[in-house]
Chain A
Amino acid sequence: MTAVLDLSRTPRTPFHRLVLVELRKSYDTRAGFWLLAVIGLLVLAAEVVVLAVVTTQDESASFGDFINTAALLTSFLLPVLGIMVLTAEWSQRTAMVTFALEPRRPLVIAAKALVGVVLTLLTVAVSIAIGLVCTLLYGLIEGHADWTFGWSEFFAFLITQNLAMLGGFALAALFLNTPAAIVVFFVYKWVLPGLFEIGAALIGWFSDIRMWLDFQTAQTVIWDMSGSAEEWAQLVVSGLIWLGLPLALGVARVLRAEVK
C-alpha cells in the first residue's frame, strides 16, 4: 500500500511570507543583528560628535547637515547589509533549506531585495529621527535651529541609499561570497573614483566618456534634482553598467548556482 501525499490543495508559499522570513533572517543571527546595531550606533555616535563640534566651535549646522553626515556613514554600511542579505545564505549553508522549501528562486531573491529596501528605509527613518533630535538640541544650545532640509533632499537621500544597498546586493549575487563582495565593493566605492579622476585629468578622450561610466559621480544629479537631460542619461547609462549588469548576471547566477 502506498501512501499518497496529496499536495494538490496545498497553497503556494505567498510572497509576503517569504519577505517576512527573509526579514527575520536579516536580524536574528549574530552577524545580522550586530551589523544593524553597528549602523544605528555609528550614526548616533557620528551625529553626537558633529553636534559637539559645531556647538563648541559655534559653527552653523542645519538639519540637512546632520542628515548628510548620516548619509555618508550609511552609504558604506548599507551595501554591506545588501551583501550579507544574499551571501549569508551561502556562507551559512542555509541555501539548501531555503531553496528546498521555495524552489522558485526568483521569488526568494526578490524577497531578499525587498528586505534590503525595507531595511534601507528603516535606516533612513532612524537617521532622520537622530538628525531631528540633534537639530533640536542644536537649537536649544545655540538658540536658533536651521531646519533647511527640503523634500528633494529627502528623496535624494532615499534614492541614493537604495542605490548603494542595491550595488552591494548586485555584487553579492555576482560573487556569492561575503569577503569577495565586500572587498570589490570598497574598491568600487573608494578606489575607483580616484582612478576615474586621475584618468580624466590625464586623458582627453577619457574625460569625455568618464561621466557615462562613473556611477558615483553621476549620482550627484539626484541631489541637485535640476540636472540636464544629458546628466540624467549619464546616470542611467552608468547605472546600467554598475548596477544593472552585475545584478542581471548575478541573478542569473543565483538561479543556476549549485546549492551546497
Chain B
Amino acid sequence: MSASTPALGHAIDISSTTPTPFLRLVRVEMRKAWDTRAGLWLLLSTALLCAAVMVIQLAVGITQADVFLTYNSFLTSTNFSIGVLLPVIGIMLLTSEWSQRTAMVSFSLEPRRPRVVLAKLVVGLVLAVAAVAIALILATLCNAVYGVLSDDPTVWNASVAHTSGFVLLQVIGMLTGFAFAALLLNTPAAIVIYMVYSFVLPGLFEIGAQLMDWFDSIRPWIDFNNAQNPLVDATMTGKDWAYFATSGLIWLVVPLAIGFWRVLRAEVK
C-alpha cells in the first residue's frame, strides 16, 4: 500500500505583493520608540528634565541680581538634560530590539536589514529634531518670562549659526549613542561606554595633552568632544571644521560603519 505524498493544495502567490515601503518602516520604528514603557518614560523624562533645568536656571536668574541670562544661556543649559539623554534614546532605539527580543519579528517581516537600521536612524533624527524644537520653545518661554520678571534687559541672541550649531550638536549626540549601540548591541554596555566617552575621556585627553607635547599637538584631531565646542558658540573656523571632521570620523563614522556591518550579520536570537 503506498500513499502518494499529498500535493500542496494551494500556493501563496506573492508575486504581486509589493515590498514594504520605507515610509512604513519608519512609522513602525517611530511607534516602537514611544509605545513601550521604557521608551515613553525616556522621552518624557528628557522633556521634563529639560524643562526642570531651565526653570531652575530661570529662578536663579531672577532672584540673583548678578546673574545675567540670555536666550542662548537657556539653550546651553540643555547640555545637562537633552545632551545627556538624547544619546540614550539613540542607544535604546537599536538595542531594545535585541534586549526585548523583537529582532526576530522585525527581521522576519523585513529581511532587508539595512532598511530597518536606516528607518531607526531616521526615527532617531526625527526625535533629535523634536527635542531641539522643544528646547527652542522652552528657551523662548523662559527668556520671555525672564524679560518680564528680571531687571536685566532681555537678549534674544538667536542666530541661524547658533541654531544650526545646536541642531548639529544634538544630532551628533544621538548618532554617537546610535553608533555605540550598533557596535555593542547591548543597552547597559552602550550606555556605560557612551558615558565614559563623554565624561571621562575629555579629562584623560586634558591630562595627556598637559603631560606630553606630541599628544597636545594631535589631540584636536582625535578629541571629538572638544571639536564640538566651537559649535556651541558658533565660532567654527576652517581649521575647526577639519578637527571636527577628522575626530568625527574616528568617534562617529568608524563605530557606525562597524556597528552597521555587525547588525547586518548579527545572529537574531
Contacts and interface: CB of A to CB of B under 8 A. Distances in A.
Interface of A: 31, 34, 53, 56-57, 59, 76-77, 80, 83-84, 91, 177-180, 182-183, 186-187, 189-191, 194-195, 199, 202-203
A202 B67 contact: yes
Interface in B245-261: none
A194 B80 CA distance: 9
Interface in B55-71: 60, 63-64, 66-67
B208 A53 contact: yes
B171 to A, nearest CB: 20
A80 B64 CA distance: 38
B84 interface: yes
A182 B211 contact: no
Contacts, number: 59
Contact of B188 (A57, A76, A80): A80
Contact of A202 (B41, B64, B199): B64
A31 B60 CA distance: 43
Given A179-B38, A182-B188, A53 B196 contact: no
Given A91-B99, A183-B85, A178 B200 contact: no
Contacts of B80: 191, 194-195
A223 B171 CA distance: 41
Q: Which 6 A-B pairs have the closest CB atoms?
A: A190-B199, A186-B195, A178-B188, A179-B187, A182-B191, A191-B80
B187 A178 contact: yes
A179 B188 contact: yes
B214 to A, nearest CB: 10
Contacts of A56: 212
Interface of B: 38, 41, 60, 63-64, 66-67, 80, 84-85, 88, 92, 99, 186-189, 191-192, 195-196, 199-200, 208, 211-212
A53 B187 contact: no
Given A57-B212, A202-B64, A76 B196 contact: yes
Nearest to A53: B211
Given A80-B192, A91-B99, A190-B199, A183 B88 contact: yes
A84 B192 CA distance: 12
Nearest to A54: B211
A77 B85 CA distance: 19
B212 A53 contact: yes
B135 to A, nearest CB: 16
A183 B188 CA distance: 9
28 contacts: A31-B188, A34-B189, A53-B208, A57-B211, A57-B212, A80-B192, A91-B99, A177-B38, A178-B188, A179-B38, A179-B88, A179-B187, A179-B188, A180-B38, A182-B188, A182-B191, A182-B195, A183-B84, A183-B85, A183-B88, A186-B195, A189-B199, A191-B80, A191-B84, A195-B80, A199-B60, A202-B64, A203-B63
A98 B104 CA distance: 29
A77 B199 CA distance: 13
A187 B208 CA distance: 25
A179 B195 contact: no
A179 B191 contact: yes
Nearest to B208: A53
B220 to A, nearest CB: 19
B53 to A, nearest CB: 8
